[in-house]
Amino acid sequence: MSLEELASDIELTDEQCPRSVAVVDSGTTSLRSVLHAHRDALLCDPDTAASIVRAAIAGQSVETIAMNESTVRIIIKATLHRCGVRTVQPLSEAEYQLLQGWIRGDRQWAEIKCSSMHLAKS
């Protein structure tokens, strides 16, 4: 898929759309149900997102969650950020630079995933 094809559905706006997923609920609705209702706003499937949030609440580090869920750190951090976990920044400076390279078309997604895994080990 070319950059032109990827950009064909991009539209400019002067308003920012909310991209967060509210997961705090004092009712009887389960976390899994809430995340399924907002699956389009997530970067992974809702079941994985629920596991990520539960693990973070239990005190597991992003690195531990990444190993247990077989998911790269950037997805975990973005998921936690979108679910309102305020102690997690979605991207480190190095991850931000990788993402910018992909957006500019300088890097392939497979290269981003590989580099992100390498960053997790360093």
DSSP code per residue over 1-48: --HHHHHTT----SSPPP-------SSS--HHHHHHHTGGG-SS-HHH
Top pLDDT among 120 and 76 is at 76
C-alpha angle 30-79-20 in degrees, rounded to nearest 5? 75
Inform me whether the pLDDT recorded for 36 exceeds 80: yes
Q: From residue 107, how far is each of 80, 98, 110 by CA, in Å?
A: 25, 8, 8
Report the range of poorest mean pLDDT among 5-9, 28-32, 86-90, 96-100.
86-90
Residue 59 falls in which region: left (phi positive, over 0), alpha (psi -120 to 50) or beta: left
Q: What is the pLDDT of residues 93-102, one digit of tens each?
A: 777 787 788 7
pTM of the predicted model as reported, rounded to 2 decimal places: 0.52
Q: What is the pLDDT of residues 46-90, one digit of tens each?
A: 999 999 988 988 889 888 999 998 888 888 888 888 887 766 666
Q: Which two tokens stand for residue 106?
A: 């300088």
